[in-house]
Chain A
Amino acid sequence: MSTGDSFDFDLVVIGAGPGGYTAAFRAADLGLRVALVERYPVLGGVCLNVGCIPSKALLHAARVIDEAAAMERHGICFGPPAIDLDKLRGFKDGVVAKLTGGLAGMAGQRKVEVVEGLAAFTGANALDVQSAGQTRQLSFAKAIIAVGSQSLELPNMPWGDHRLMDSTAALQLEEIPQRLLIVGGGIIGMEMACIYEALGSRVTVVELTPTLMPGTDPDLVKPLQRRVSKRYTAIHLDTRVSRVDVADDALFAHFEGKHQGREPFDRVLVAVGRTPNGARINAAAAGVEVDEKGFIRVDHQMRTNIPHIFAIGDVVGQPMLAHKATHEGKVAAEVCAGQKSAFDARVIPSVAYTDPEIAWVGVTETQAKAQGLQIGVGRFPWAASGRALGNDRSEGFTKLVFDQATQRIIGAGITGPQAGDLIAECALAIEMGAEAADIGLTIHPHPTLSETVAMAAEVFEGTVTDLYIPRK
């Protein structure tokens, strides 16, 4: 269904991250003539190139190192690992190249025209793409803005010194610093801490708020906190870094708050959040409103204030997660193709791929209490899971939150290795409106960690037999 033959394209998608390429591919599959504008020579955006994917390749390496070391207690000694950083970097880059190359191939198969360069709107139906001094003008019937976000840079820091890193730089794995300071105890900071600590760095984490992983139920964070506080040099909560000074042999961080002082580090990673790129595309020329922070407001069909221009992903708001962006990308593409799609997912899962992993979805226990919801919680400790014990990792637990009146699951939180994989079942259960008994009565394979989801439901129901819960 080709709309507006007077335009170069039915649809131009700006940004080829997970949201953008998904939108472009879906729209092409629905018959639109699509251009995909990307400023970098490779597709995939932050997620594939400098985010989710390379970090997971390195986290896998970290896990192998940690697990090998952990077996020493049980009679298997590999000795200290010999790390060939170039080869490890090559493994990571290879994974990325495989995926981004795959994307380029699929774009070609779908006849999506990839246009490299920086896009800037010149009107409601036109934009310029600049690349290496060349400018190409594109006109479009519809557009999807998927320009994503970038790392926040803190002030009073020597940006330009290669020893001060954002997450992109940290994933390049230039070296393994002896003393690494990580500013920001959220998901990205803690994942990077996990990688570098396993590779041999002495890690210090500083976090402004009183807890690691702010916003997560405190009990979910506890196993992670317990593990890292033994392994890391220090975790400074309620503390901020007011400035970082440069010296020849070190970066000096100034701490304020609960922890104070001036301490030397070989490298500093700043992972305090991301800021949307909405202000960088001259959206005003198209009449699209961008707020002062760079976010673009959209409706449930991902439309901006200009009805034929859509926006998806990080640039439309929190949570800045690839799986949210891909879902939104499909919605926007389908609406562009005339379908009545809308974003009506009820929940978006979140995962920290730390060791142990922390995953949650839907209503957290903290939120439920704050909102005064009548809930019941089923909590199954992994210490009672044979599989977790066999894995020598029994510190985790699975927690399900139910609406007391309907018995339906409204939230879940899991901590422990593989929590990120286990949370998917909970998300499905919430979308399907499953009751506690639906989950408990579904036969889960034994012995797996997935059993803990069923058993948490049984704890809520009072039918569990793998635990003894005294009658009230």
Chain B
Amino acid sequence: MSKTIEIKVPDIGDFRDIPVIEVLVAAGDQVGAEDGLITLESDKATMEVPSPVAGVIREMRLKLDDTVSEGDVVAILEVADESAAEAAPSPEPEPTAEASPETSPEPETQPTPDADETRRAAPVQTPAAEPGPGALESGPAADVDEPAAGVAGTAEVALSMLPYASPVVRKFARELGVDLTQVTGSGDKGRILREDVAAHVKSVMSAPAIEVAAPTLGGLRLDFPELTESDFSRYGEIEKQPLTRIQKISAGHLHRNWVGIPHVTQHDEADITDMEAFRLANADEAAAQGFKLTPLVFLMKAMVASLKKYPRFNASLDADGETLVLKKYYNIGIAVDTPEGLVVPVIRNCERKGIMELAAELAEVSARARDKKLKPQDIQGGCISISSLGGIGGTAFTPIINAPEVAILGVSRSSMKPVWNSAEFKPRLMLPLSLSYDHRVIDGAAAARFTRFLASRLEDLRRLTL
């Protein structure tokens, strides 16, 4: 008799109720260990749930567009080799691919939709389960008023899992239509008080008001004229192309950041003639190890030095808009162009890594980004981002800040220019830098100093050791 196991959704991080976007196998399919069964999509990444062992799929428990959380059963698998099943660990999620650019580094946990606590808690009875007259046949039975069904709520939700609120607060919430699972309690250990319910209602009531009453946002009028939909086919042939998932997600983030953050862009140039000579001199060594030594890694080291000198650039504005969170680590996001759209993988702890190490890691991460193999954690935790268009061209541009970061460095194509050295014009290789910064956090003078400091590190790499 062969053994069957339940394959469950493994720990997928802080995500709940995320949709199944692909079902890769069907009942009857033969699968090997680590073969993907379904693909899940969170806000930030897609991931495959693999089979822990080889076998035959007996039953698929999920279908397209189902939403799942950790522990949900994906499929019933008949194990090919039983000894393997004994040792089978719960499958690790294999988060592949796609990361969105310009995302906030924190995973946004999806609230459980329609978590109506009163209904879940309500011990409204299910008569079917009870010994009714049917018990007649079995002779003397216990009194029907036995406790089993009397223990309210426990059958569906453990008592300790219910919102931490007293009966009168639950009643108050119900009257206002508040779902207590959405309310943060301010009492001891998160106990939900009457005031918390009121505060929740207040915040919910005022939040949409901003959207609706946008014309008077902060005293500014934002009542744009309606953009009428044009029928472009009237003017010639057209083709409709849906945005990729990454493009759709990044569109929202970019729009939010552009509208929500007062951007200023500081432009400067760095003389990288010597840096380029140094880079070329060491290119072969890098190539021998299988990666390219690009100017970008020098920019990353210069960035670390600049952040150390100007800590306000390595910061985030707290949600209350009144506190600056200064970071003591140096994680740099690098915008990577992929066929699906722009993604920003984060290289962590750049301050601890040498040029070669960074170059190797950058090559590896960029390749994974293009192959859609980024994991959610690959795109989280950035301090500042660099977007380089140097390989393509241009002299300057305005990058959009990757909130909650407060600045982003745009890099255009370097070109040979005549530079006056107080005696004569000399041909020097000049690299255009465009630093967009959040003017709420950084003022113009600081931005100019920062950019100049960064440029000066590139102009003489020996300064990086200072």
Interface residues of A (CB under 8 A from B): 152-155, 183-189, 206-209, 213-216, 239-242, 256, 270-276, 291, 293-300, 302, 316-321, 324, 339-350, 360, 362-364, 367, 371, 373, 403, 405-406, 408, 410-411, 430-433
Does the CB pair B142–A342 fall under 8 Å?
no
A175 to B128, CA, bound (A): 39
Nearest CB of chain B from residue A407's CB, rounded to whole Å: 9
18 A-B residue pairs with Cβ-Cβ distance under 8 Å, sorted by A, are A189-B143, A209-B141, A215-B148, A240-B138, A240-B139, A270-B140, A272-B142, A274-B143, A298-B124, A299-B119, A300-B122, A318-B125, A321-B150, A345-B123, A349-B150, A350-B150, A360-B147, A373-B158
Chain-A contact segment, one of B28-36, B44-52, B58-66, B160-168: B160-168
- Contact partner of B119 (CB less than 8 A), chosen from A155, A273, A300, is A300
Report B140-179 residues with CB < 8 Å from chain A CB: 140-154, 158-160, 162, 164-167, 170-171, 174-175, 177
Which of A345, A411, A433 has the largest count of B CB atoms less than 10 A from its CB? A433
Nearest CB of chain B from residue A260's CB, rounded to whole Å: 13
Q: Which residues of A contact B131 (CB under 8 A)?
A: 273
- Contact partner of B174 (CB less than 8 A), chosen from A209, A340, A349, A350, is A340
Q: Which residues of B contact A298 (CB under 8 A)?
A: 124
CB nearest neighbor in B for A350: B147
Q: Which residues of B contact A360 (CB under 8 A)?
A: 147
Q: Which residues of A contact B147 (CB under 8 A)?
A: 215-216, 319, 350, 360, 364
A405 to B160, CA, bound (A): 9
Nearest CB of chain B from residue A361's CB, rounded to whole Å: 8
CB nearest neighbor in B for A272: B141
B127 in the interface (beta carbon within 8 A): yes
Does the CB pair A300–B145 fall under 8 Å?
no
Nearest CB of chain A from residue B115's CB, rounded to whole Å: 13
B398 in the interface (beta carbon within 8 A): no
Nearest CB of chain A from residue B239's CB, rounded to whole Å: 51
Q: Which residues of B contact A189 (CB under 8 A)?
A: 143
CB nearest neighbor in A for B130: A318
Q: Which residues of A contact B165 (CB under 8 A)?
A: 433
A431 to B151, CA, bound (A): 12
A206 to B281, CA, bound (A): 98
A300 to B128, CA, bound (A): 17
Complex interface bits, B306-321 against A, C-beta within 8 A gives 1, otherwise 0: 0000000000000000
B452 in the interface (beta carbon within 8 A): no
Given A275-B132, A291-B128, A318-B130, the answer on whether A186 and B152 have CB atoms closer than 8 Å is no
Does the CB pair B133–A275 fall under 8 Å?
yes
CB nearest neighbor in A for B122: A300
CB nearest neighbor in A for B162: A346
CB nearest neighbor in A for B175: A340
Does the CB pair A208–B146 fall under 8 Å?
no
Given A291-B127, A364-B151, A410-B160, the answer on whether A344 and B140 have CB atoms closer than 8 Å is no
Given A186-B146, A240-B138, A273-B142, the answer on whether A433 and B122 have CB atoms closer than 8 Å is no
Which of A272, A273, A363 has the largest count of B CB atoms less than 10 A from its CB? A273
Report B74-132 residues with CB < 8 Å from chain A CB: 117-119, 121-128, 130-132
CB nearest neighbor in B for A317: B125
CB nearest neighbor in A for B143: A186
Nearest CB of chain B from residue A346's CB, rounded to whole Å: 5
A207 to B140, CA, bound (A): 6
Does the CB pair A342–B122 fall under 8 Å?
yes
Does the CB pair B140–A183 fall under 8 Å?
yes
Does the CB pair B160–A408 fall under 8 Å?
yes
Given A188-B145, A318-B149, A343-B124, the answer on whether A155 and B159 have CB atoms closer than 8 Å is no
Does the CB pair A316–B139 fall under 8 Å?
no
Nearest CB of chain A from residue B139's CB, rounded to whole Å: 3
A245 to B29, CA, bound (A): 64
Does the CB pair B139–A343 fall under 8 Å?
no
CB nearest neighbor in A for B134: A293
Nearest CB of chain A from residue B175's CB, rounded to whole Å: 5
B24 in the interface (beta carbon within 8 A): no
**A348-B123, A410-B160 known, 18 other contacts, Cβ within 8 Å:** A154-B136, A208-B141, A275-B133, A276-B132, A291-B128, A299-B119, A299-B122, A300-B118, A318-B130, A318-B148, A321-B150, A342-B119, A344-B167, A345-B123, A348-B150, A406-B189, A408-B159, A433-B191
Q: Which residues of A contact B145 (CB under 8 A)?
A: 186-188, 273-274, 318-321, 350
Does the CB pair A363–B154 fall under 8 Å?
yes
Q: Which residues of B contact A293 (CB under 8 A)?
A: 127-128, 130, 132-134
- Contact partner of B170 (CB less than 8 A), chosen from A320, A321, A344, is A344
A223 to B158, CA, bound (A): 29
Q: Which residues of B contact A242 (CB under 8 A)?
A: 139
Does the CB pair A362–B118 fall under 8 Å?
no
Q: 3 closest Cβ contacts across the A-B interface?
A: A317-B125, A186-B143, A295-B127
Given A275-B132, A410-B158, the answer on whether A152 and B144 have CB atoms closer than 8 Å is yes
CB nearest neighbor in A for B166: A432
Does the CB pair B153–A371 fall under 8 Å?
no
Q: Which residues of A contact B118 (CB under 8 A)?
A: 300, 342, 344
Nearest CB of chain A from residue B263's CB, rounded to whole Å: 46
CB nearest neighbor in A for B176: A340
Given A215-B146, A317-B130, A362-B154, the answer on whether A344 and B141 have CB atoms closer than 8 Å is no
Complex interface bits, B180-214 against A, C-beta within 8 A gives 1, otherwise 0: 00000000010100000000000000000000000
Q: Which residues of A contact B123 (CB under 8 A)?
A: 343, 345-346, 348
A319 to B83, CA, bound (A): 47
Does the CB pair B139–A346 fall under 8 Å?
no
Q: Which residues of A contact B154 (CB under 8 A)?
A: 362-363, 367, 371, 410
Does the CB pair B142–A215 fall under 8 Å?
yes
Does the CB pair A256–B146 fall under 8 Å?
no
CB nearest neighbor in B for A278: B127
B446 in the interface (beta carbon within 8 A): no
B217 in the interface (beta carbon within 8 A): no
Does the CB pair B140–A184 fall under 8 Å?
yes
A448 to B161, CA, bound (A): 33
A94 to B122, CA, bound (A): 38
Q: Which residues of B contact A316 (CB under 8 A)?
A: 124-125, 127
Q: Which residues of A contact B189 (CB under 8 A)?
A: 406
A275 to B136, CA, bound (A): 10
CB nearest neighbor in A for B139: A240
Nearest CB of chain A from residue B128's CB, rounded to whole Å: 7
Does the CB pair B138–A273 fall under 8 Å?
no
B324 in the interface (beta carbon within 8 A): no
Does the CB pair B143–A273 fall under 8 Å?
yes
Report B239-273 residues with CB < 8 Å from chain A CB: none
CB nearest neighbor in B for A190: B143
- Contact partner of A208 (CB less than 8 A), chosen from B121, B122, B142, B150, is B142
Q: Which residues of B contact A299 (CB under 8 A)?
A: 119, 122, 124
Which of B130, B144, B147, B177 has the largest count of A CB atoms less than 10 A from its CB? B147
Does the CB pair A207–B142 fall under 8 Å?
yes
Nearest CB of chain B from residue A358's CB, rounded to whole Å: 10
B135 in the interface (beta carbon within 8 A): yes
